[in-house]
Amino acid sequence: MPKGAVAISSAPPMDVHIVPHSLRFPIAVLLNLTLSASLYSITSDFRAGDLSSVSRSVNQWWEVIGLLGGKIAELAIGWYGDFDRVDVASLTYLSHMPTLYLLTTFYGIRPTTAAASLTIDVLAAYAPFYLLRPVSPFHNAEAPAKAVSNRSILNDWPISIFTTILAAGIHGFILYLSFVTWIPSFLVNYFDGVRDLSAAYSAALPFLIVGGLPLGWAAGKFIFTPATGAKPDLGDIRNSAFNPATATLTETVMYNLWGYSKRTRTLIKRTATVAALSGSYTWYQLYITIEGIEGYGAAGWASIWVVATALTGMAFWWVGNVEGFYTAYYVN
């Protein structure tokens, strides 16, 4: 194992073979809901008065079902997307953070309350996958070298630091650009209940980047690491064998639309997953659970993070295609 790499046990701590495949996802959902409810109950005194002061009553049956269904859908994306515990923890952080950031920045919610809520959500997502699914070779420094591509890159701390800062810088810049242009007036028009706009007027890019480092780390773990470690598959073989002179129209269209390497396909799918989940989760949470926020306003705030995610995915793709970047470290 390379110096500085962190070893993660690939096997779950319990023997999952005794659990039928058909029951594993329902058990994961039950564990998630139970742990989440327990932790929120335990920390209720610590968080008292903060979120309730800006939340609207959710008592319509469709609202309750929507919130519960959304949580199950999040877990389903992770489970059936074949994500491991590092993936789901990172994805949960990336999708839940925008809502809590808005509340701490413009609604006066204590940062400790937001941090506690985000920690609970991440732990509740992480725990079921920790118990029921082994960690993927991408996130396991002790996995066989042949299990992934570019093992030395995945275990290289300078590269991890670089991708973390890159993603944090992109998110910080998009946020800063929004703060100094359209966000203040947008919040006034579509967010009834905003308490303080000073953070937008006094925004400083370096502080936004530093504050976004945890997000950058999560983006690197969820997007960059699996894409970098992706092994060539049958799709790569078909792409290399593609002959436009003999291909059918359908084959030509598919090649032009999706004839990328496994690494690029993985990067696109994971970037799209973050953008879709963070955008939809942010919109739903703001519009349904926070008092005074209009649907258009929730969509506007969510769009900041969708754009930043898309640009981060493009930046990761560019980094991976810089001449010599992979070949300098390549280990098959």
CB atoms within 10 A of CB 306: 20
pLDDT at 253 over 50: yes
- Predicted pLDDT of residue 331: 42
Average pLDDT for residues 135-158, to the nearest whole number? 86
* Alpha-carbon dihedral sign for residues 97, 68, 298, 54: negative
Highest mean pLDDT among 55-64, 135-144, 294-303: 294-303
Does residue 166 surpass a pLDDT of 50?
Answer: yes
pTM of the model: 0.91
The mean pLDDT of 290-312, rounded to a whole number, is 97
Over residues 62-69, the mean pLDDT reads 85
Q: 322 falls in which pLDDT band (50, 70, 90)? A: low
Q: In this predicted model, which residue has the larger pLDDT, 244 or 28?
A: 28
Query: Tens digit of pLDDT for each residue in 242-251?
Result: 888 888 888 8
Please check whether residue 264 is in contact with residue 317, taking contact to mean a CB–CB distance below 8 angstroms.
yes
What pLDDT score does 194 carry? 93
| Residue 7 pLDDT level (bands cut at 50, 70, 90) | very low
Residue 6: the pLDDT is 45
| pLDDT at position 332 over 60 | no
Name the percent of the chain lying above pLDDT 90. 64
Q: What's the average model confidence in pLDDT over 158-167?
A: 95
Does residue 17 carry a pLDDT above 80?
Answer: no
Average pLDDT, the chain: 89
pLDDT of residue 237: 79
Q: What is the pLDDT of residues 169-222, one digit of tens each?
A: 999 999 999 999 999 999 999 999 899 999 999 999 999 999 999 999 999 999
Residue 318 CA to residue 314 CA, distance in Å, equals: 6
The predicted model gives 131-155 an average pLDDT of: 87
Q: What pLDDT sits at residue 29?
A: 97
Each residue's pLDDT tens digit, 72-128? 999 999 999 999 999 999 999 999 999 999 999 999 999 999 999 999 999 999 999
Name the least confident of 66-75, 148-157, 277-286, 316-325.
316-325
Average of per-residue pLDDT across 288-315: 96
What is the model's pLDDT at position 9?
55
What per-residue confidence (pLDDT) applies to 207? 97
What tokens does 286 get? 């703001």
